[in-house]
Amino acid sequence: MKYVLSLLFFLLLTVIGSSQSLTGEQLLERAIAYHDPQGNWETFNGTLYVSMETPNAPKRDSKIQINLPQEYFQVEATQGDKTTGYKLDGEQCTIALNGKTDLSPSDLEENNLSCERATLYKNYYTYLYGLPMKLKDPGTYIDPVVEQVNFKGKDYLRLKVTYDEAVGTDIWYFYFDPKTYAMEVYQFYKGDPADQGKDTGEYILLEGEEVISGIRMPKNRAWYYNKGDKYLGTDFLRTNR
Is 134 buried (19+), middle (13-18) or exposed (0-12) by CB count in 10 A? middle
Summarize pLDDT for 164-217 with one digit per residue, the tens.
988 888 999 999 999 999 999 999 999 888 887 889 999 999 999 999 999 999
Q: Would you give the DSSP letter of residue 146?
A: P
- Rounded to whole angstroms, the Cα distance separating 195 from 193 reads 5
pLDDT of residue 20: 56
- Rounded to whole angstroms, the Cα distance separating 180 from 33 reads 10
pLDDT of residue 27: 98
Q: Indicate the range of 11-25, 32-46, 99-113, 187-201 predicted with least confidence.
A: 11-25
**Residue whose C-alpha is closest to residue 118's, from 166, 65, 171:** 65
**Residue whose C-alpha is closest to residue 74's, from 84, 64, 62, 59:** 64
Summarize pLDDT for 99-128 with one digit per residue, the tens.
999 999 999 999 999 999 999 999 999 999
